[in-house]
Amino acid sequence: MKKLIKGLREFKASYFNTHQQLFEQLAHGQTPRVLFITCSDSRVDPNLITQAQLGELFVIRNAGNIVPPYGATNGGEGATIEYAIQALDIKQIIICGHSHCGAMKGLMKLNSLQKEMPLVFDWLKYAEATRRLVNDHYSEYEGEELLEIMTAENVLTQIENLRTYPVIHSKLYQGQLSIYAWIYHLENAEVLAYDPHKHAYVLPQSQVKESNSDEMLVKQFPNCSLAINSTNIQQLEVESSSDFSQSVSERLPATPLSPEQLKRIYRGANN
């Protein structure tokens, strides 16, 4: 605690003094451009990993970066999403999972939680679609690799859930909203973004080259994005292979994903 209070002093002495103009401006209101939904895990810091300034990220954090389907819960997620889209007119949403996620580990041994952590057990019901999919289609995987797959699939599951909110449903209509799936690998500080056209998580950097239009920087889910001309897709396929193997090697030094598994994640992505 002592350390945190010292930190408060340092923050004011250093950061505040060098950014006074920003603070004056922020006092008049916030205009964040991104809703960032991630896990409560202490090893994930949205502003640090994106180097975003104060005022740029509107953040929801809970165990497992879970978004319950519309109407399924009366907790803060739905209200905060509604506020972000309706009141702040945010047009970009990132759901960011991360490696070594405790909630995903819990999902792998769900029954053991019921007695020990009943609220966590109940909460993971909203990741049941992830658990079910992984149990049905990845039975041959285990340990670290299975955890990696579950984490990757869960972000996609939560995007499905997110789409059931009226305010999201309406904004997606006419492509006024973009939704991105990220995985942060806390062992190597790497973020991979889901690319629905490559049907895999890839280095978002690889996608920056493709275009200058913000719309194109990170591929969005087909059903939340404008059509992409085939040429563009060609380019993309071409350079993707290299990018992808690269991303995979950085991501799973021990257990690179097999092409077969990528196919699975691809199909999973197709949900």
Q: Judging by DSSP bridges, how do beta strands 92-98 and 178-185 pair with one another? A: parallel
The smaller minimum CB distance to its own copies, of residues 114 and 245, is found at 114
Q: Is 41 annotated as a binding residue?
A: yes
The smaller minimum CB distance to its own copies, of residues 119 and 238, is found at 119
The smaller minimum CB distance to its own copies, of residues 72 and 108, is found at 72
Q: How many CB atoms sit inside 10 A of residue 268's CB? A: 19
Q: Is 224 annotated as a binding residue?
A: no
Give the nearest distance from C-beta 73 to its own copies in angstroms: 4
Give the nearest distance from C-beta 173 to its own copies in angstroms: 5
Could you tell me the two tokens for 8? 């408060």
Give the nearest distance from C-beta 78 to its own copies in angstroms: 4
Instruction: Give how far Cα 148 sits from Cα of 42, 82, 122, 145, 242, Å.
Output: 19, 30, 22, 5, 21
Give the dihedral sign, CA 244/249/252/254: positive
Q: What is the dihedral of CA 123, 183, 53, 16, to 10 degrees?
A: 70
The smaller minimum CB distance to its own copies, of residues 66 and 200, is found at 66
Give the nearest distance from C-beta 39 to its own copies in angstroms: 9
Q: Is 96 annotated as a binding residue?
A: no
What is the spatial distance between Cα 41 and Cα 65, in angstroms, rounded to a whole number? 10
Which residues make up each annotated binding site? 39, 41, 98, 101
Which residues make up each annotated binding site for Zn(2+)? 39, 41, 98, 101
